[in-house]
A and B are shown apart, each in its own frame.
Chain A
Amino acid sequence: MLKQPHIVTLCSVLTAGIVLLSLPLRVNTQIKWVAAGLFLPFIGLAAAADQKLESVQSIVVSKQELLRENQRLRKELENYKIALLQRKTVVSENDLLREEILWKKRQPWNLLPARVQVKEPSNWWSSLYINVGTEDGVVENTPVLSPQGLVGKVDQVERHRSKVRLVGDPHCRVSAMLAQTATRPEAEQAHGTVMTGQDTQLNPRMVSFQPLPLNTRIEPGAEVITSGMGGGFPRGIPLGHVVDSRSSGVGLFAEARVRLTVDLNRLEMVWLILPAEGNGRAPGEDPR
């Protein structure tokens, strides 16, 4: 037989849980922010512990190793400087041609670096928290990148931190297309959406690219990039490479399995493309 305190506690916890879960997502998120205040000392403590750990690591690394790393980075920087010179001439040429056909100039990306704080501790989602928020100019749906390709988009923004939904999460769908190559003319660039696939749950790097027209040539290894459609992400950011493809939806369309170029589990630093001032559009977005 249940005792009275048991019944009271059981009923109150169940009611609290059900009420919280049945609230609209936006309200639930706001309550979550308020609740985060209760755990603020732990968040601060965790950040301090991380910093301490980093300083301990820096003591352990030998000077010789640091010098080697420094030399390697210098070489890499020089290579990039030369590549940038080449790119500058291409960009100015591109701007001239755009002027000729009365297209707007492409705006350079306004990038903001961010450090990954924590990753998703449950198996239901693919997300992470970064250490920048509204104070740094971050807004919802800001695209998040790494040097390898697209990481995801900002889902919720707090003052000093933001939640990022990673590519492959059920709440982060990306308009994508097959990249143009010498063997694939622009007319054959199939468009679709990169979303959670059957394998994503056990391997977050495997996503699904669908729906594609059945007659599309989808060779394994073909590059998949963002298409810029829908305005969520700028065009041309690498997403991944096709692993294989099959017909899906009772033979109505084709579906490709794509392996993401970014290793989402080893992310330490990411870059956010902040919106351009004035037009509210993501910089680099094709103004066509």
Chain B
Amino acid sequence: MSRSTFTSMILIAIGVVYLEARWTVIEGGWRCQIDVLPVFAAYAALHGRVGVMAGVAALGGGWFDLLSANPLGTSLLSLFLTSYMLHGMHELLLKGQMAAQFFVCVLAGVLNPVIAGLALWVMSADPMLGWGTLWQVLINAICCGLAGPVLFLILNQLDQNLSHTPTAKPWNRPVVEVKRSKHYHQF
């Protein structure tokens, strides 16, 4: 992943988190505040290195915590651990497949709130935890799963447009290089 793709991804994530905070949907049929930030963590896990994952967790998570009543560091920890767990699969998965993207994003949508809730509970921050949390995690995971392929498509497109891929130099290709044997003169 190039630097420009990373910057664009962070900017999109910041915009998405702001929209989440601006237009709340909890009172609707969902009864849950949707957070698609785990999708960005999943993308970073599948397409980037560990530095990219840390960057997404620090900048995206930091921005999320600033707009939220979360203590600073909650989302950093949860997003980074989520992407780190998913990073283990980045060589096994068919990350171009829509179904794979859906399931990875569902998994990210489950892992992120579970880790965040656990961190808040361990530090006795007294968050709103209960049976309703299960419903909210489920709905959030499904929404992440649905948003995943769309965001992956956008981010892949951005990566293609913004990344520079060097063209192969025909005179330097090892497959066409002719090497003379040291016994050449014997013929």
Q: Would you call A36 and B77 a contact (CB within 8 A)? A: no
- Which residues from A are CB-within-8-Å of B135? 202
In whole angstroms, what is the CA distance A15 to B136 when docked?
A: 29
- For chains A and B in complex, what number of residue pairs have CB atoms within 8 angstroms? 155
Q: Indicate if the CB atoms of A21 and B33 lie closer than 8 Å.
A: no
Kindly list chain B residues whose C-beta atoms are within 8 Å of the C-beta of A263: 27
CB-CB contacts below 8 Å: B61-96 with A: 62-74, 76-77, 80, 84
Q: Mark A133-173, 1 if CB is under 8 A from B, else 0.
A: 00000000000000000000001000000010100011100
Q: Could you tell me which residues of chain A, from 35 to 54, have a CB within 8 Å of some CB in chain B?
A: 35-36, 38-39, 42, 46, 50
Question: Which residue of chain A has the shortest Cβ distance to B126 in the bound complex?
Answer: A170
A127 at the binding interface (Cβ < 8 Å): yes
Within 8 A of B (CB), among A12-35: 12-14, 16-22, 25, 28-29, 31-32, 35
A124→B66 contact, CB < 8 A: no
Closest to A267 in B: B24
A202 near B31 with CB under 8 A, answer yes
A123 at the interface (CB under 8 A from B): yes
Distance in angstroms from B40 CB to nearest chain A CB is 14
B127-A125 in contact (CB<8A): yes
A9 at the interface (CB under 8 A from B): yes
Residues of A within 8 A of B24 (CB): 119-121, 265
* Number of residues of chain A lying within 8 A (CB) of chain B: 55
Q: Which of A68-76, A193-201, A236-244 contacts B (4 or more CB under 8 A)?
A: A193-201
A86 within 8 A of B: no
Pair B119/A21 contact, Cβ less than 8 Å: yes
Q: B18–A118 contact, CB under 8 A?
A: yes
Contact B32 A119 (CB under 8 A): no
Whether, in the assembled complex, A251 has its beta carbon less than 8 Å from a beta carbon of chain B, the answer is no
Residue B100 is within 8 A (CB to CB) of chain A in the complex: no
Interface string of B29-54 (1 = CB under 8 A from A): 00111010000000000000111011
Interface size class of B (residues with CB under 8 A): 35 or more
Q: Indicate if the CB atoms of B69 and A35 lie closer than 8 Å.
A: no
Is the C-beta of A226 less than 8 angstroms from some C-beta in chain B? no
Most buried by B among A13, A36, A129: A13
Kindly state whether residue B21 has any CB partner on chain A within 8 Å.
yes
Q: Does A234 contact B (CB under 8 A)?
A: no
Contact B69 A18 (CB under 8 A): no
Q: A46-B18, A122-B35 are in contact. Are A204 and B26 (CB under 8 A)?
A: yes
B69 contacts A123, CB within 8 Å?
Answer: no
A199-211 interface mask toward B, CB cutoff 8 Å, 1 = contact, 0 = none? Answer: 1111111000000
Q: Which of B53, B80, B128, B140 contacts A126 (CB 8 A)?
A: B128
Kindly report which residue of chain B lies nearest to residue A19, judged by CB atoms.
Answer: B73
Measured in the bound complex, the distance between the Cα atoms of B117 and A228 in whole Å is 34
Contact B26 A22 (CB under 8 A): no
Which of A29, A123, A124, A203 is packed against the most chain B CB atoms within 10 Å? A123
* Nearest chain A residue, comparing its CB with the CB of B63: A39
Which B residues between 109 and 131 are near A, CB-CB below 8 angstroms? 113, 116-117, 119-120, 123, 125-130
Is A230 in contact with chain B by the CB < 8 A criterion?
Answer: no
| Contact in complex: A265, B27 (CB < 8 Å) | yes
CB distance from A207 to the nearest CB of B (A): 12
**Is residue B57 contacting chain A, with contact meaning CB distance below 8 A?**
yes
Q: B151 an interface residue at 8 Å Cβ cutoff?
A: no
The reply to whether A121 and B26 form a contact with Cβ atoms under 8 Å apart is no
Docked Cα-Cα span, A217 to B127, in Å, equals 32
A288: interface (CB < 8 Å): no
Report whether B69 and A28 are in contact in the complex, using a CB–CB cutoff of 8 Å.
Answer: no
CA distance A249 to B18 in the complex (A): 41
**Distance (whole angstroms) from the CB of B17 to the closest CB of chain A:** 6
CB-CB nearest in chain B for A3 = B50
Contacting B at CB under 8 A, from A239-270, are 263, 265-266
CA of A81 to CA of B27 in the docked complex: distance in angstroms?
35
Cross-chain contact A121 with B73 (CB below 8 angstroms): no
| Closest 10 A/B residue pairs (Cβ) | A20-B73, A17-B77, A201-B132, A124-B127, A118-B21, A125-B69, A265-B27, A202-B31, A121-B21, A127-B69
